[in-house]
Amino acid sequence: ENRPVPEPGPNEVLLRMHSVGICGSDVHYWQHGRIGNFVVKDPMVLGHEASGTVVKVGSGVTHLKPGDRVAIEPGVPREMDEFCKTGRYNLSPAIFFCATPPDDGNLCRYYTHSASYCYKLPDNVTFEEGALIEPLSVGIHACKRAGVTLGSKVFVSGSGPIGLVNVIVAKMMGAAAVVVTDLSASRLQKAKEVGADFTIQVKNETPQEVASKVESMLGCMPEITVECTGVQACIQAGIYATRSGGTMVLVGLGPEMVTVPIVNAAVREVDIRGIFRYCNTWPVAIALLASKRINVKPLVTHRFPLEKALEAFETTKRGEGVKVMLKCDPNDQSP
């Protein structure tokens, strides 16, 4: 609250922040101080799912002006390395990323960001939708890596925010049927709301039994599995469930070492792919939102002003609702 308003660099913009979603990684840093090799060593501003209004532009910025409403892509390459040259800048080891140590995030009143990674929002796309482009981008990147196409049968493991965006994107990309598993009945109901064809509430079934249920629901084994939990048993179920010659994409992050039936996957030529964040997704997401081909509004279940950030984080930590959104602009009176 007491930090001075920063000045934008030549290729940056100063933003008055509007909507910032809370991600599971934000809560993890808050609670544990690290994710893998990323360790919080100094005070760090959280937040990377964000939108805001341009207040001031740097001298080299020509495509944005004060008053423009923008969505913020949180990952900005620091140098033009081999990954950037091939369009996979998300893999650059030198990338800046909001709220990943030591880089500050944007859960604050004013924030400066690279202008090239701020995308103007059309008039019919809200600030909240702009903030939701970040999790939506995970779904776009995962479904592209999985090869979802017309008629695909897809198994989405996990019905949290990332599982839900994968349901939305898979259906948009032409999936004929999507089945979703989760422990929570309320989250599975939300999956139905956003387009899932079938849901399975997992209780204490073995991974093989879950796979069998998935096949029974779809009438066949799915060509594509999108694993969004990171839980060992769920990864195992994903391998058993995926049709021979199919693809499983690992989206959820769990422990570094997991035991999986890798020979089962190998002899059936099941491709196992990872994803790391996303790249080149903001223009696609904005086009989909502006055309109303997808609807992400049901994902937001809780809203808090910035002054109640702690309450918002506690709500997310308890697993209530789906997406918790913080409002950073005290002058904004919208819902």
Is pLDDT above 80 for 1? no
Cα–Cα distance, 30 to 57 (Å, whole number): 32
Residue 267 or residue 334, greater confidence = 267
Question: In sequence order, what are the residues at sequence separation of 6 or more whose Cβ sits closer than 8 angstroms to the Cβ of residue 297?
Answer: 126, 128, 129
Q: How far apart are CA 323 and CA 230, in angstroms?
A: 19
Query: Quick one: pLDDT at residue 331?
Result: 74
pLDDT digits (tens, 9 = 90+) for 118-173: 999 999 999 999 999 999 999 999 999 999 999 999 999 999 999 999 999 999 99
- On whether the pTM is more than 0.75, the answer is yes
The string of pLDDT tens digits covering residues 279-299 is 999 999 999 999 999 999 999
- Give the long-range contacts of residues 299-304, CB within 8 A, separation 24 or more: 299/132, 299/135, 299/161, 299/164, 299/165, 299/194, 299/323, 300/21, 300/128, 300/132, 300/325, 303/327, 303/335
Q: What domains does the chain contain, in order, with CATH numbers?
A: 12-120+296-327 (3.90.180.10), 139-274 (3.40.50.720)
